Amino acid sequence: MTYYLVPLLIFYFGTALCIAYGGTNPAVILTCALPMVALAVLRGHSGTDTAAYYQSFTDLGQGNGYGAEPLFNAYAQLLWSICPDPRFVVNGISMTTALLLLWSVAHSRFGIWFGGLILVPGMFYELTMNVMRFGLASAIFLVATRIPPHRKPLRYVIYALIGTGMHFSSALLFLLFIATTRRGHTLKLAGVAIIVVGASLLMPDYFADKTSLYTGIAAPNASSGLLFLLIQLLMLGVMIRYRRQFAIPPVGWLICTVLAVALYAMTQVTYAGIRFQLILVNLMLVMLWRQFAPPGGRMRADLAAWLFVVGLIALAGRIHNMTDEEGHGQSPFLPYQVAPSIQELG
C-alpha cells in the first residue's frame, strides 16, 4: 500500500501549498502529481481490469479490441501503430487519462479544492488503472464542462460524441449534467434520452453482451454500494447546505437524490449498479466543481473542510477495496507490480 499512499501524500503536500497560496498553481500541481502518474504508467499487472485489457489488446494487430466503443478502440489502434505492444497501449491510455485529469485540475481556479481534495484521492487510481474506458471518457467530460454548455453548445456536443465513443454509458454524464444544472431542460433531456434508447436498439449485440456480462453477478453483500451512497449523500448535503455557493437548481438535487437511491437498490440485484454509482459520483463532483459560484469569489474554509472530509472517505473506501482484493485475480492493485522490463533493470 505504500506504493500508492506515498505519491498521494506528495500530491496532498502540493494541494496544501496551493491552498495556502490561495489558488491553483499548475507548476506545483503537475510536479507533485508526477509520482502518481509514474505509478499508473509504469505498472505491470496491477489494477483490477488491467489483465483483461492486456489480453484483449494482444490481438489489436488483427483488428480486435476491448468492448464495442469505436473511438476507444481507434485510439488503442493508434497507440498500437506507434508500438505494437499491449502494455504500451494500456499504459498509454492511462497516461492520456491522467494528463487530461491533471490538466483540468491545474487549469481551473478552484480545481485544487474539488479536483485536489476529492477527485485525485478518491478516484485517480480507479480511473487510470482500472475502469479505463470510463476513466478516459470522464476525463473528456471534465474538459467539456470547462466552459458552460449553453455558451458553446456545439463544442459540448462534439465532446459528448467523443466521450460516448470512448464509453457508451458516459453519455449519461453529458445528458445529466445539463438536466441537473440548467432549469427548464428536463423535458428536453427526456426526449434526448428516448433518442439514445432508440439508438441503442441499433446495437443489439453490444447490449446483449452487457446483459450477459452482469446477469448473475450480484453485489458481494448488502453493504455493497453503501460507500458510494454515503459519498453521494455527503455531496448532496454540500449542495444543499451551501446552496448559495453553487448555481445548482433544486431539480438538480432531486435528480441526484432519486438516482442515488435507485442505484443503491440496483446494487442489491446486480454488480452493474456499482458501475453506475461511480458515474453518478463523477457527475455530482463535476456539478459541484463547475457550478461553484461563490458570491465573494473565495472558497469558504468550512466548505473546503467538508470537501476534504468527502475526499478522505472516498480514499478510505479505495484503500479498503484494494486491501480486500489483495492477491486475488490476475492483476489486483495489491501487491503493486511494475512493468517487467523495469523489474529487469533492478
Rounded Cα–Cα distance for residues 280 and 54 (Å): 28
- Least confident range from 127-136, 194-203, 266-275, 322-331: namely 194-203
224 within 8 A of 267, measured Cβ to Cβ: yes
Rounded Cα–Cα distance for residues 261 and 257 (Å): 6
Rounded Cα–Cα distance for residues 3 and 36 (Å): 9
C-alpha cell at 75: 485510439
Model pLDDT, residue 196: 56
- Least confident range from 37-41, 42-46, 71-75, 186-190: namely 186-190
pTM: 0.90
Q: In angstroms, how far is CA 336 from the centroid of its own chain? A: 21
Torsion of CA 188, 194, 199, 200, to 10 degrees: 130
Model pLDDT, residue 346: 39
Model pLDDT, residue 61: 74
- Report the alpha-carbon angle 276-278-280, nearest 5: 75
Give the model's confidence band at 28: pLDDT under 50 very low, under 70 low, under 90 confident, else very high: very high
Q: Give me the residue spans of the domains in the chain.
A: 2-332
Q: What is the CA radius of gyration of the chain?
A: 20
Average pLDDT (313-339) is 89
225 within 8 A of 233, measured Cβ to Cβ: no
Spatial neighbors of 189 by CB under 8 A, at least 6 apart, are 175, 176, 178, 179
Give the model's confidence band at 13: pLDDT under 50 very low, under 70 low, under 90 confident, else very high: very high
Average pLDDT (123-136) is 95
Q: Is 339 helix (H, G, I), strand (E, B) or coil?
A: coil
Q: By C-alpha distance, which of 268, 170, 173, 282 is closest to 225?
A: 268
Q: By C-alpha distance, which of 104, 100, 108 is closest to 75?
A: 100
pLDDT in tens, 205-251: 454 445 444 444 444 455 668 999 999 999 999 999 999 999 999 99
Average pLDDT (125-129) is 95
Given a cut of 80, is residue 21 above it in pLDDT? yes
Average pLDDT (99-125) is 95
Q: Pick the residue with more confidence: 262 or 345?
A: 262
265 within 8 A of 223, measured Cβ to Cβ: no
| Residues above pLDDT 70, as percent of the chain | 86
